[in-house]
Structure 1
Amino acid sequence: MSTSVRTSARTAGGGKNWHIPAGMLRGDGWQLDLGPKQAGWDFAGLRVLRLEPGESRTFTTVDRETIVLPLSGSCVVDYIGQMPEAAGRPGSISQPLRTRDHAWWELAGRGGVFDGPTDFVYLPRNAAATIRSRRGGRFALPSAVARRTLPPRYVPASDVPVELRGAGSCSRQVNNFCTPQSLDADRLIACEVLTPAGNWSSYPPHKHDEERPGETALEEIYYFEVSPGQGGPGIAYQRVYGTERRPADLLAEVRSGDVVIIPCGWHGPSMAAPGYDLYYLNVMAGPGPERAWLICDDPAHTWVRQTWRQTDIDPRLPMTPTGYGPEPKGNPEPNGKGKPAPDGVPSADTGMIR
């Protein structure tokens, strides 16, 4: 018997509520406050915090393991310690509590999302922490409802694996800062994808909404930022469509700060319009006993992968300054792992389709 991602009023409806424009989930000082309740599912969440120079924010993670990931700017993360099985949803606390677990880390951050990988901090569930920024900045906090309490830790930018995936007009860069192979976590899976202007990523279309051989059930959040053009803000597009059993139909024009939630269905491509480089942050989590990122290609389009063997990677990649981060890795050879699922083809890259 397979397990699938739960649906609710927002996640049902065939995709009409899955595109969340920037500012629609602003509240309590967060530019974006998207938890499982707001998404209508059980595990994955994302908050985005903007701090003016000299500002700080103290918050609790409650039942969610959380990463503090600079989008732009630098900060200090002050880990206050573990709270006694904190209740309610993540938010501010008025009186910071010092415990013997107290520690802090200074994050160098980056100028912006197109400036290379960044260092980050992992915080466990039921933790209290403060983010301070002397010069100001924007910070993403991807999260997942967790079963285990793992130790907090700092990860330098030099430890973030960078991969170049696809080829030709499907070339993209993936910063695998919180994938199962790169960071020990309980449920949270997250990565950053950079797509040069005019290219497609998250392609071929794929899905991960059932627990079965070759596929894991994962809720997914796409958070977008688009480079501006000569005339103003940039645009991009995101496609999601369903299966016969769980129909969906979404083609959204997305801009910086927009979110698309994907509870189920085939998703892709993510389309970078000519003239505008595209960034998105993927946040995933699911109910399965194993933290794994296994996807199935849409059988109608999986043949596209074979064409990459005869095509060079876009020379505009990597979008990473020389000497910043690890040496990017190119496309791996297909490994053939995973048994074909009844209505999909397991990715030859075992989930790393971004």
Structure 2
Amino acid sequence: MTTTHHLPAGKARTDAYAVEVTPATAGWGHAGLRVLELAPGGRHVLDTGDGEWIVLPLAGACTVAVDGETFRLTGRASVFAGVTDFAYLPRDAEVSITSRDGGRFALTGARCTRRLPARHAPASSVPVELRGTGACSRQVNNFGAAGVFDCENLIAVEVITPAGNWSSFPPHKHDEHHPGEESELEEIYYFEFTAHEGTPGLGYQRVSPSGNGTGTDVLAEVRDGDVVLIPDGWHGPSMAVPGHDMYYLNVMAGPDPDRAWLIRDHPDHAWIRTTWPEQPVDPRLPLYTAPERS
């Protein structure tokens, strides 16, 4: 199995970021992720270059200054505490991110050609979806989903899987362009877990080859701060071990002319969907909902 697609915490660290995945380091053309850690009173300046970016607080609050505007992000205590607001950054912009109390902030990105306006999205605008039932139950925060928030190429969502459940199941893929049926999208998974009495959480991620059996092949134990790169292949399940809830941030982008998330289920496992109407959604979900619009 390949190991280059599983980046344990620290493997993708750079001088500026706790995690930095670029198209160049990933070996593909479009999707990127940065995780910025700021100390109290910290400030970070970046140039968005040829990409569009969303600043998404993982823990803490921050202020984002771009194109003469200032967006104050309320943020959240952790990814398990609630939905967060976020800010969209256009390409070819200089951006300043500051945080009075410090925190951890994801920058989800994709190469693009159009320059859309910078803007702030409140937490109340984020649709919270419950997907699957029974042991396949999970929560999806569709903050940057296609059809929800306007970007040119970037698609980004958060998934929360209760302890002991399986996400990204049935395994699915989006590595070929079939109009109306399947999108061609690169994908990044970034993980965090709840601890139990000081013991860090963990989970497992599977990616198996599609097509002629060659391609990405990963079976990884994943922990806080780990990243899995998925240029192709059937991905899933994402397994949360008992006792530890699992969070992952999905970042997707690709060459297709239409910004869409169209997937094809693995033919050996697609039948599991037919069992979902017979089972209730895990009563632990939703872990939280978006606040009411003011």
Please classify the TM superposition score into its range, dividing by the shorter chain length.
over 0.9
As a proportion of its length, which structure holds more strand? Answer: 2
**2:112 corresponds to 1:146:** yes
**2:233 corresponds to 1:238:** no
Distance 1:253 1:326, change over 3 A: farther
Percent of pairs with identical residues: 57
- The residue number in structure 2 matching 1:51 is 38
Choose the corresponding residue for 1:67, options 35, 54, 62.
54
SS state at 1:37 partner: helix
Contact 1:162 1:325 in 2 (8 A): no
Deviation digits for residues 24-56 of structure 1 (CA, Å, limit 9, x no counterpart): 111122101111001000000000000010011
Amino acid at match of 1:308: W
**2:11 corresponds to 1:24:** yes
Amino acid at match of 2:259: R
| Number of residue pairs the alignment of both structures matches | 291
- The residue number in structure 2 matching 1:161 is 127
Deviation digits for residues 245-284 of structure 1 (CA, Å, limit 9, x no counterpart): 2343211000010000000000000000000000000000
CA-CA distance at 1:180 after TM superposition: 1.0
- The residue number in structure 2 matching 1:216 is 183
Amino acid at match of 2:8: P
CA-CA distance at 1:156 after TM superposition: 0.2
Which structure is larger by alpha-carbon Rg, 1 or 2? 1
RMSD: 1.2
Alpha-carbon distance between aligned partners in 1 of 2:250 and 2:42, rounded to the nearest angstrom:
27
Choose the corresponding residue for 1:40, options 27, 47, 50.
27
SS state at 1:309 partner: helix
Choose the corresponding residue for 1:181, options 141, 147, 170.
147
- The residue number in structure 1 matching 2:246 is 278
Deviation digits for residues 91-126 of structure 1 (CA, Å, limit 9, x no counterpart): xxxxxxxxxxx0101100000000111000001111
Deviation digits for residues 129-157 of structure 1 (CA, Å, limit 9, x no counterpart): 10110000000000000011100100000
Contact 2:170 2:237 in 1 (8 A): yes
**2:274 corresponds to 1:310:** no
Q: Is there any run of 5+ residues in structure 2 with no aligned partner, and where?
A: none
Amino acid at match of 1:222: Y
**2:95 corresponds to 1:108:** no
SS state at 2:270 partner: coil
Amino acid at match of 1:301: H
SS state at 1:303 partner: helix
SS state at 1:169 partner: helix
Contact 1:161 1:326 in 2 (8 A): no
CA-CA distance at 1:230 after TM superposition: 2.1
Contact 1:162 1:326 in 2 (8 A): no
Q: TM-score, normalised by structure 1?
A: 0.80
**2:197 corresponds to 1:197:** no
Q: Is there any run of 5+ residues in structure 1 with no aligned partner, and where?
A: 1-13, 82-101, 328-354
SS state at 2:275 partner: helix
Amino acid at match of 1:23: G
CA-CA distance at 1:243 after TM superposition: 2.0
**2:225 corresponds to 1:257:** yes
- The residue number in structure 1 matching 2:172 is 206
**2:193 corresponds to 1:226:** yes
Amino acid at match of 1:39: A
- The residue number in structure 2 matching 1:332 is none
Deviation digits for residues 140-177 of structure 1 (CA, Å, limit 9, x no counterpart): 00000001110010000000000001000000000000
**2:273 corresponds to 1:297:** no
Once the two structures are overlaid, the 10-residue window that deviates more, 140-149 or 230-239, is: 230-239
Alpha-carbon distance between aligned partners in 1 of 2:129 and 2:147, rounded to the nearest angstrom:
13
